Structure 1
């Protein structure tokens, strides 16, 4: 049986007549990168350390009107909400560029 598909000779139509260019990218880390690094440090170092010292800091926890159990539940939510906000900020910022 014959092949009904047209022969592919490698031709690609480019209406502008110019070869494609790679998008301009910046190799700089920038403010967004440093904010993300700060949030990762907060989420992986600061908050776990705070959870470990919570029993010794019950007076501080009570001054915020929280029980120890509520503090154990609320502390991990801080980096979760902040990382979510950074993701939205980053997505909106990338759309503007």
Structure 2
């Protein structure tokens, strides 16, 4: 998986984005942070956005903190939520779409 490095170019299509996301499976956030040479916050509950930012680096999102979709060319917004060890969401989450 040669692309598995932070700051790849934006994905060209949904399939490429999905493949990048699948390539991250099995890595801990610590491993990804070490590869990207990013410090891990001491309190991830307080710094909730850090995980999303880390994933954006590896997936090629370019929006940053701008008020636009993470992948505007694809019409895709990345959302992360905390889960337990079994993958069960720890927060109630609502996804809404407005044209």
Q: Give TM-score, length-normalised by structure 2.
A: 0.29
Q: Give TM-score, length-normalised by structure 1.
A: 0.30
- Greater share of helix: 1
